[in-house]
Structure 1
Amino acid sequence: MPSVIILALLTIVPTIFLYFVSFTNYELGQMWNEQHLIGFQNFIRLFSGQDTEFWLSVGISLLFMVLATFFETFCGFVVALLLNREFKLKSLVFACLLVPITITPSIVGQMWKLMYNAEYGVINYIMGLLFHTKIIWLGPAMAYTSTLLVDIWQWTPFMALIIYAGISSVPAEPYEAALVDGANAVQSFRYITLPLLKPLLSLAILFRSMDSLKLFDVPFVLTQGGPGSATELLSLHVYRLGFAQTGWVARASATGVILLIIISILSQFLIRQLHKESGPKI
C-alpha cells in the first residue's frame, strides 16, 4: 500500500495536474485564482501552426529518435559481435563500456561541450594535428550532428551489452545444424541470430526510442536548443515555453501532453510488436 501511494504522488498526480493545466491559460507568475479553463485553445494553437516552432521541434525530435536508435542499435550489434569471442583484457573492455552509461547526462553534456570547443577543445586539437583544420562543432551546420554523436557515444554501450547478453544465451545447436547444412556466417546470422534476438532487441529499441524522445539534459547543456532552433527537441521546446523565455506554462503543458501521447503511442506499438513474437522459426 505505501508503494501505491508513492507511485500515485510521483506519477499519477503530476500527470493529472499536467493535463488540467494544459486546458487553462496559466502563465508563470500568475496568481492561481486568475487562471481559468479555456478548453482546447492551447492544443488548437499548436496544431494550427500559430506556434511556429512546434512542428519544427516535433520533426527534430522524431528524426533524432530514428537516427539515434538506428545507429545505437547498429553500433551496439557490431560491438556485441566483437565481444562475443575470447581475447585478453575482455573484462576491462566491459568495465570501459559501463563508463558512458553511468555518467550523469548533464556531466556528459558539459564534458563534450569542452571537447567540442572550437578554440581549445581536444577534438579540434587532434583535427588540427592530423588535417590542419578546425570545425565549429556547435555551430548552425554541425550542432544537430554533434548532439546526436554524444547520444550515440553514451548509449551504444547499453545496446551492446543487451545484445551481447542475448547472443551469449543463444544455444550452440542451431548453429551446428546450420553448419552441417552448409550455411555460411551471414545466413546463420540472418536466420538464427536475428530471429532469436528479436524479442530482446525490440525491448531495447523500445527503451532507447522512448528515452531519446524525452531527451533534455545533453542538448540543453550543449546548445540550449540552438543555434536558433537547430537542436530544439520537443522537451527543450516545452522548457522554453514554460520557463526560459515566455512563462506560458499552460502552452508548455499542452506540448508536454502531446509529447506524452507520442511516447505512449510509440511504446504501445513496440510492445504489441514484441507480443507478436511467439518464438523464432528456425
Structure 2
Amino acid sequence: MSFDLPAYLSERRVIVDAALDKYLPTADQEPDNLHASIRYSIFCGGKRLRPILALAAADAVGCDFSHVTPLACALECIHTFSLIHDDLPAIDDDALRRGAPTNHVVYGEAMAILAGDALLAFAFELIAECRAFCPADRVLEALVMVAQASGTRGMVGGQVSDIECEGRTDVDEKTVASIHERKTGALLIASLVAGARLCGASGAQENALRRYGEKIGLAFQITDDILDLEGDAEKLGKPLGSDLKQDKATYPKILGIEESRTLANRAAEDAIAALSIFDEKADPLRALARYMVERDN
C-alpha cells in the first residue's frame, strides 16, 4: 500500500498548529497589536513544511516526535519571520501571501518589521524548551544549527545575494545554486538534522538526512521558480510572474523550464536514494521528496 502523504501532512499540520497556538502569546496580551500581527501571519495558511520535516526526521531515527515539537514550532516562527520581511516594500513588495493581504498591508510596515523581529527571537526561546525532553548538550547543538541556517551563512545571507543579483545578466547556474542553497536549503537541512540531533541520531543518519535535505531543497526551489511562471495563481495565493517582474536569478531564467524540471526530478530521486539506510519509518520523507516536484502551490 502506498504511503498516504495528504493524510500525513494534514495530521501533522494539526499537531504543529495546536502547538503554535499553545506557545504563542494570545492576541489580547500586551502588546496586543504586535501579538495579533504575529498570529495573523502564523495562522494564515502554510504547508508547515519545515516543522513537518523536523518531526519526520525524529520518526525516521526512531524517536517520539513530540520531543522535537518545540523545535518544529521554532522553525515555523523563523520561516514566517522571513516571509513577513520578504513581503515588505523594501524587498519583494508583495501585497498577497497565501491568498490574503500581507502583514504590512494589514498592520503597517512598522508592525510587520517588529512582528518578524519578535518571531525570530521567540524561535530560540522555543528551541530551549526542548530541554524538557532532550539532553541540554543536544539542545544547544540544535540551537546553533538553526541559528547558522537562519543568519548570514544561511537564509538571510541567501536573501542578500538574491537581492543583489536582481537584474544582472552575468548570473550563472553556480550563483543561482549558491543563493538558493542558503536562502531555501539551509533551513530545510537544519530542520532535518537538528530534529535528528535532538533524538540522538548517529553520524551516518545525520549525514543521510543532510544529503536528503540538500536535494529536496534544490527540488523545492526549482519547483517554486517554475510555479511562479506557469502555476495557478489561485492555488499559489499570489499573482504569477513576481520573479520575472523583479528579474530574479532563478533556475528557469538560467536553464529554461524543461531543463529545470529535469534537474528538479533528478534531485528528488537523489533525495530518496539518500534515505537508503532508513527503514519504513522514513517513508514520510520519501513521499515528501516526490511532493516537492509534484505540488501545485
Q: Which has the larger radius of gyration?
A: 1
TM-score by length of 2: 0.30
Flag the structure with more relative contact order, 1 or 2, with Cα contacts below 8 A and sequence separation at least 6: 1
TM-score by length of 1: 0.31
